Amino acid sequence: MTTITIGVPVYNGEATLERSLESLRTQTYRDIEVIISDNASTDRSADIAQGFADRDPRFRVVRRETNVGPVPNFFSLLEMAQTELFMWRADDDWSNAQYVEELKAKFDEDARIRLAGPETLIVRRDGSIAGVNSFILPCQKLRVRRVGHMLMHLSASSIYGLWHKPTLMEILSRTRANYPYIWAWDHMAMVPVILSESVTGNNAAKLYVGQPEAARYSAREPASVMWEMRRSFRKSCFAELRRLDWPLWEKLLLTPNLLRYANLRVYRFWKTVRRHIRQFFEITDRKPPTQVG
């Protein structure tokens, strides 16, 4: 019986897709379905994915005739999933064979868990390890300190961990309404499970994240948008804090941590100020077309 769905969005990922899918095919936990959504790739990505589907009935390929953009392609996989547990997998990431099994074990151990994250290893193009982000379980007695620890230390790659799908969908329906941006959406999505202490990790589950040669998608936001993103992120964070059945004093104690989290995860304050100043002088230094010299 299939208990976990793994969604793999791909666009022109032929260089890394086979390694990523092979690491899923060889998982020790077998009760999985892997859905690959090919976003009208112009390389061999769809053929590579179809090859896995032809050899293994647990794999399914969705081929898009036109490119719908990375965001709709990414989130559509969550909607396609029919299981209670779900995870995403980037087409250039791979994992050890025990990855799914070790994360699923955390759900079996504690019914309160809604997200189980892995240990993340950043891999250079030459195969060497550039960095390791391990999960550190908070051991403080005070709830405020435990939550504050998680806000500062939970890796962004935990978004690729194992989720309780109904919880994830509920979170996204709320947070995306208050924070309708792509940048830092993963940090925003993890705020509710951090605040409710329903997130954990397992360092026996290894996620290998390759350093790309160049970013596939990039954007230089104007300062006005950066300010609005900061405001919206803070608003969404505090909306989640208000949902908690905590005494007022605990919420007040956590407020500095939440403000720091918001400053670190979107655009930092001074970076936004510098962008604002640069844009101001770019505008004032710009001469009319008829002006010379």
pLDDT in tens, 237-252: 999 999 999 999 999 9
CA–CA gap between residue 206 and residue 102 (Å, rounded): 9
pLDDT over threshold 90, residue 288: no
Region 191-211: mean pLDDT is: 96
250 and 130 fall within a common domain: yes
- Return phi, psi of residue 117, to 5°: -100, 160
Number of compact structural domains in the chain: 2
- Contact of 33 with 79, CB cutoff 8 Å: no
Within a domain: residue 2? Answer: yes
Q: Which domain holds residue 123?
A: 111-287
Within a domain: residue 160? Answer: yes
66 and 188 fall within a common domain: no
Percent of the chain whose predicted confidence (pLDDT) is above 70: 93
Q: At what angle do helices 143-153 and 248-265 cross, to 10 degrees?
A: 10
Burial code (b: 16+ CB inside 10 Å, e: under 16) for 250-275 equals ebebbeebbeebbbebbbeeeebeeb
pLDDT over threshold 50, residue 287: no
The 10s digit of each residue's pLDDT in 71-124 is 999 999 999 999 999 999 999 999 999 999 999 999 999 999 999 999 999 999
Within a domain: residue 105? Answer: no
Within a domain: residue 190? Answer: yes
Region 179-184: mean pLDDT is: 91
Which pLDDT score, from 0 to 100, does residue 192 have? 98
Task: Name the residue among 207, 143, 194 with its Cα closest to residue 167.
Answer: 194
pLDDT over threshold 80, residue 211: no
Sign of CA dihedral 72, 73, 75, 78: positive
Within a domain: residue 141? Answer: yes
Which pLDDT score, from 0 to 100, does residue 17 have? 98
Burial code (b: 16+ CB inside 10 Å, e: under 16) for 122-134 equals bbeeeeeeeeebe
Within a domain: residue 261? Answer: yes
Which pLDDT score, from 0 to 100, does residue 270 have? 63
Within a domain: residue 100? Answer: no
CB atoms closer than 10 angstroms to residue 144:
17
Which pLDDT score, from 0 to 100, does residue 291 have? 38
- Contact of 44 with 21, CB cutoff 8 Å: no
129 and 272 fall within a common domain: yes
Region 206-220: mean pLDDT is: 70
- Return phi, psi of residue 272, to 5°: -65, -40
The 10s digit of each residue's pLDDT in 32-86 is 999 999 999 999 999 999 999 999 999 999 999 999 999 999 999 999 999 999 9
pTM: 0.89
Within a domain: residue 106? Answer: no
Which pLDDT score, from 0 to 100, does residue 19 have? 98
CA–CA gap between residue 214 and residue 125 (Å, rounded): 12
- Return phi, psi of residue 160, to 5°: -90, 10
